[in-house]
Structures are given as C-alpha cells and as structure tokens.
Amino acid sequence: MTYCVGMLMDAGLVFLSDTRTNAGVDQINTFRKMAVFERAGERVMVLLSAGNLAVTQSVVTLLHERMAQDGDSLLRAPNLFEAARHVGDCVREVHRRDAESLRAFGIDFNVSLIFGGQIAGEPPRLFNVYAAGNFVEATPDTPYFQIGESKYGKPIIDRIFRHHTPLEEAAKCALISMDSTLKSNLSVGMPLDLAILRRDELRVACLRRIEADDPYFQRLRVGWSERIQQAFTALPGLEEAGWCDGRG
Amino acid sequence: MTYCVGMLMDAGLVFLSDTRTNAGVDQINTFRKMAVFERAGERVMVLLSAGNLAVTQSVVTLLHERMAQDGDSLLRAPNLFEAARHVGDCVREVHRRDAESLRAFGIDFNVSLIFGGQIAGEPPRLFNVYAAGNFVEATPDTPYFQIGESKYGKPIIDRIFRHHTPLEEAAKCALISMDSTLKSNLSVGMPLDLAILRRDELRVACLRRIEADDPYFQRLRVGWSERIQQAFTALPGLEEAGWCDGRG
C-alpha cells in the first residue's frame, strides 16, 4: 500500500509520500512515489501516486516521454487544469494498453494520483486524478487530498489543517499524519519524500528525502507521542461522567 | 457502516459501539449494536456486531432463542471459548439459511463480531468472531479488537491502551477513538453504547446509552480537540529541521 497527502494553501502547496510498495507481505520494496516536473520560474508540478506500481510507473514514464517530444506535455499545458487533463490522458493510455491483460490475471487497474503545482499567471492548484483519468480539484473548503492508506492519518488533518495554514505548519501536520499511519499500518514505510512549493516562486522551495533516523522527524514522533499521552491524561476521567454510579 | 471496540484488561472489559446503520447514504437509521447476556453472579457476556444488519440481527435473535430453549446456549456454555463457538455456530446457521439468497442479489454475507465477558472460574476473555464462524482470542500482547470503520480510531488506541490500563481510562480511550471516527466518517454516528465489566463481578458494572448532548462526552470532545491543537503547536517547527535551507 502507500500513504500520500497533498495540501493546498493560500501560501502554496505541500506534498508528502512514503516509499513502501508491497505485493503481499513477502515482497516489500522501496520506490519513490513523488515525481517533480519543473521549468523554474515558469511552472512547477508534483505528482504523488498510489496503486499498482507497474501502472503508476508507466504513467510517470509516459509523462516524461511526452515532455521529451514535441506534442502535448506538462511543459506545454497552458494551465494546471489542462495539465491534469494531460495526466488523465496518460492514465487512459496505460489503461488502453494494460487493463485487459491485467483483467485476465484478475488484477484491477488500480491507480490514484495527487497532482498539483503552479503555472505562471495562475494561483497554485491541486487535483486528485482517478483510474478513469477523470479528476476533482481541491478548494478552500476541502483543501487537501489523501491517497492510499488514508484513514489513520485523516483525523489529525481534519483537526489542524485549513486553507490558511502556513506552509511549514501544514508540512508538520502532514508528518504527524504520516506518523500515525506508520504506527498503525505495516504497508506504509520510511523513508519519506517531502516537497514544499511557495506561491509564485514557480520552483520547488524544498525537496527532501526524510530517513528513519532523521533527528527532526524523530523529535516530532517522540514529542507527539508524549504530548498525546499528556493530553489524554489531562482530560476529565470517566468518574466525572456520573454514568456508572448505578448501572447507568 | 459501524465502529465498535472491545478491550481486555487485567481489571475487566470495556465495550463501546455506535448506533448508525446505513444502506447507501439515503437510508440511515439508528440500531443498537450491543447485546448483553447475563446471569448475574455466574456469567456476563457482551456482543458487538458490524456488517449486514439483517445478518447481525438474526445472529443476536438466534442467541436469545437458544437461551430460551433447552439445548446449547450462552447460558450453558462451560467457558467463554465454548460460548464463542456457540456464537460461531449461530453465525453459520444464518449463513446456511441466507447466504445463497443474498448471493443471488450480489450481496456479501458480511458480519464481524466482538464477543467477550466472564464465566465464573475463568478470567475475562475477549474474541473476534468472523463471518465464517471461526474466531481469534485477544491476549495481553493484542488486548483489543475493533470492527467496522476501525482505522480512524486505531492510532489513539495503539498509543494509549495496554492490558494493564485501568478500566475507566480504557473507556475514556475508547471514547476518544470513537470521537476521531465520528469526526472523519459519516457512516458512524451517535448515540453510543458503553458497557464496563469489572473482573469477578460477573455482572455489567456500567451500561450506558450516551447521547450526542451528554455533558461529559461533550467535555471530552471539546477538551481533546483543544489539547490536540495545543500539543501540535508545542511541537518543534519545520524550520528546526534545517531541511529547507537550500533546496534540501
């Protein structure tokens, strides 16, 4: 499995992905699930992928191939909407080529993508592209997307993250969300890839591979665990409910 | 959907369930998912159920019918293991009667149960009974089971709950876990049912229907939300990571 999250803010975009892939439990590997497409000063885009690795790799490779050719590509799309359509077209091309053969082996054509960035003249935008090549766009009401093992890490994002959250705080929130997922699900694993895009910089502001022994991430994990325990302890105990004085 | 959790401790057992059932999004109802079987002073058992409501209701009704008859029943089982087997037998009986007809309509025979309690002469025990009627038993290493929408509320249980946790604290932890689930998933809803069994009392110590406007549960939800925000804010900021000084 996988866990990836993409966050849209006034101030820019944050992307975080794990690197674990597994086929069953006995074939576990590390693959980058984050791809960056950049023409610095003009456009910058980040793609996070979950699902069948053969499918997601094919999509990313196709996107790079198209960039090296003359026709439509992420580098020529006039805006992020057209860029997301291009991503969807590449998903559909892989589907046309592979879906039937996969079906013959009982394998679903399983792919889910988070795609976002900024092209000069537009604000930052964020999309969730589905296996059918269609997509939805994030808005201030729902300014984030998750793909893969999304449920463990959703409560903390729902509590903390808003469209007006500063970039560094959003990245911290994404890391805490990832920590909860790592703790509860073996199919999500270190290292992580983090990308931060500041509005109107039109280049990646920060692109970081975070290893398991990274001192800051360690501090975050230990600190969060301790503070959660303290927060829990500080809450009023059940005896204050008065529920169990009789038999309720 | 549903969210239920059962917790096994040295000190006894805690059970918590929501009450929402839904068929799609336009048929939403409230049903109790907790059943209590008790012969005070001799045995006490609690069953939590998730899955197809017609199936889970049939199982609970069968268990009650058996108790009113002369043969095997929860009241005659010599220990909790045999009681869990009896629950499994009732699941299999419903399967024999209904599964083929359900299949004809493309409906899975979908049921998952948490079953636990204490019979005089034994310590408290806790089981997770599957749709096939087989089951696993909780141990001090893994002293809890969840069924239904379990992922949102798993991280907090993993962080807080242990086999030696006091009963009231476990109940508080279950309520926080439920709160995270309620916040993130519409298919889980108020009111809640809480049962606490103290070791060797052989009766329910506390059985409580918790409504949405319950003052203690409100305090817990608001207090937890505030403390999570404070804990998050108190963690070191991303600038301390030194990741983004260059481009990482």
Whether B245 maps to a domain, the answer reads: no
Report if residue B124 sits inside a domain: yes
The three-class DSSP label of residue A81 is helix
What does the pLDDT look like over B19-37, one tens digit per residue?
Answer: 988 877 677 888 899 999 9
pLDDT value of residue B186:
84
Question: Which residue from A minimizes the CA distance to B161?
Answer: A229
The yes-or-no verdict on residue B245 having pLDDT over 80 is no
Judge: B234–A241 Cβ closer than 8 Å, yes or no.
Answer: no
pLDDT at A246 over 70: no
* Interface residue of B207, B219, B222, B243 to substitute, partner A, most A CBs within 10 Å: B243
A113 has pLDDT over 50: yes
State the amino acid at position A85 in one-letter form.
Answer: R
Which segment of B18-27, B131-140, B169-178, B182-191 scores lowest on mean pLDDT? B18-27
**Does residue B241 belong to any structural domain of this protein?**
no
Looking at beta carbons, which residues of chain B come within 8 Å of A244? 196, 205-206, 208
Contact B248 A206 (CB under 8 A): yes
Question: Could you give the percent of chain A with pLDDT greater than 70?
Answer: 98
**Secondary element (H or E) of residue B83:** helix B80-104
Cross-chain Cβ contact A247/B176 below 8 Å: no
Residues of B whose CB is below 8 A from A209: 248
Report the range of poorest mean pLDDT among A182-191, A200-209, B134-143.
A182-191
Q: How far apart are CA A143 and CA A46, in angstroms?
A: 16
Place of tokens 């991430």: A217
Which of the four pLDDT bands, split at 50, 70 and 90, describes residue A92?
very high
CB contact under 8 A, A227 and B220: no
Comparing CB atoms, the residue among B183, B205, B207 nearest residue A155 is: B183
- Displacement of CA B93 from its chain's centroid (Å): 23
Alpha helices in chain A (DSSP H): 53-68, 80-104, 154-160, 167-184, 215-234
User: In the predicted model, is pLDDT for residue A1 greater than 90?
Assistant: no
Residue B242 lies in a domain: no
Give B-chain residues touching A142 at CB under 8 angstroms. none
Question: Mutating which of B158, B165, B238, B245 best tests the A interface, going by the most A Cβ atoms within 10 A?
Answer: B238
According to the model, what pLDDT value does residue B27 have? 79
Residue A248 lies in a domain: no
Calculate the average pLDDT of chain B: 94
Predicted confidence at residue A30, as pLDDT, reads: 86
Whether the predicted pLDDT of A193 surpasses 60? yes
* Least confident window among A200-204, B18-22, B162-166: B18-22
- What mean pLDDT is reported for chain A? 94
Q: Are A109 and A52 in contact (CB under 8 A)?
A: yes
Strand partners, A135: A129
Instruction: Name the residue in chain A with its Cα closest to that of B160.
Output: A229
Amino acid at A154: K
Amino acid at B197: L
Nearest residue to B125 (alpha-carbon basis) of B133, B110, B135, B112: B135
Does the structure show a pLDDT above 50 at B248? no
Could you tell me how many helices (H) and strands (E) chain B has, helices first? 5, 12
Backbone angles phi, psi at B97, to 5 degrees: -75, -40
> What is the DSSP code (8-state) at residue A16?
E
Q: Which pLDDT value is given to residue B246?
A: 57
- Name the token pair of A72: 């439509």
Closest CA to B174 of B41, B81, B46: B46
Compute the distance between CA of residue B87 and CA of residue A186 in angstroms, rounded to an integer: 31
With beta carbons under 8 A apart, name residues in chain B contacting A205.
244, 247
Q: Which residues of B touch A187 (CB under 8 A)?
A: none
- Lowest-pLDDT choice from B22-31, B129-138, B223-232: B22-31
Contact A46, A13 (CB under 8 A): yes
Distance in angstroms (rounded) separating the CA atoms of residues B75 and A120: 73
CA-based nearest distance A235→chain B, Å:
7
Residue A248 has pLDDT above 50, yes or no: no
CB contacts of B204 in chain A (<8 Å) are 247
Range of the domain at B61: 3-235
Q: What is the dihedral of CA A210, A215, A216, A222, to 10 degrees?
A: 110
- Please tell me which residue of chain A has the smallest CA distance to B222: A235
Asked whether the bond before B191 is cis by omega within 30 degrees of 0, the reply is: yes
CA distances from A157 to A73, A184, B74, B220, B239 (A): 33, 16, 44, 19, 20
Mapped onto helix, strand or coil, the DSSP state of residue A27 is: strand
Predicted complex ipTM: 0.90
- Pick B29 or B193 by higher pLDDT: B193
- Do A31 and A189 form a contact (C-beta atoms < 8 A)? no
Residue A117: pLDDT over 60: yes
Over residues A119-148, the pLDDT tens digits come to 999 999 999 999 999 999 999 999 999 999
Containing H/E element for A3? Answer: strand A3-9
Q: Are the Cβ atoms of B216 and A244 closer than 8 angstroms?
A: no
For A3-55, what is each residue's pLDDT tens digit?
999 999 999 999 999 998 887 777 788 889 999 999 999 999 999 999 999 99
| Mean pLDDT confidence for A146-151 | 94
Tell me if B47 sits within 8 A of B114, measured CB to CB. Answer: yes
CATH of the domain at A190: 3.60.20.10
**Tally of domains within chain B:** 1
Please state, in angstroms and rounded to a whole number, the distance separating the CA atoms of residues A89 and A199. Answer: 27
- With contacts defined as CB-CB under 8 Å, which chain A residues touch B217? 241
Phi and psi torsions of A196, nearest 5° = -125, 130
Residue B227 has pLDDT above 80, yes or no: yes
- The answer to whether residue B21 sits within a structural domain is yes
A32 falls within a domain: yes
Based on the number of CB atoms within 10 Å of its own CB, is A39 exposed (0-12), middle (13-18) or buried (19 or more)? middle
Q: Minimal CA–CA distance to A147: which of A170, A116, A103, A172?
A: A116
- For residue A214, list chain B residues with Cβ-Cβ distance below 8 A: 241
The yes-or-no verdict on residue B87 having pLDDT over 90 is: yes
Strands of chain B, DSSP E: 3-9, 12-17, 20-23, 27-30, 34-39, 43-51, 111-119, 125-129, 135-137, 144-148, 192-198, 204-210
Give the orientation angle of helix B215-234 with respect to helix A215-234, to 10 degrees.
160
Give the closest-approach CA distance of B93 to chain A in angstroms. 32
Integer Cα distance of A96 and A108 in angstroms: 13
Mean pLDDT of A50-69: 95
Find the angle CA(B7)-CA(B8)-CA(B12) to the nearest 5 degrees. Answer: 110
CA distances (Å), origin B53, targets B94, B109, B199: 12, 10, 31
Mean pLDDT, to the nearest integer, of B69-87? 95
In a domain? residue B75? yes
Closest-CA residue of B relative to A182 is B155
Cis peptide before A166 (omega within 30 of 0): no
Lowest mean pLDDT among A21-30, A74-83, A107-116, B191-200: A21-30
Whole-number Å distance between alpha carbons of A61 and A56? 9
Which of B151, B177, B178 would best serve as a mutation to test chain A binding (most A beta carbons within 10 A)?
A: B151
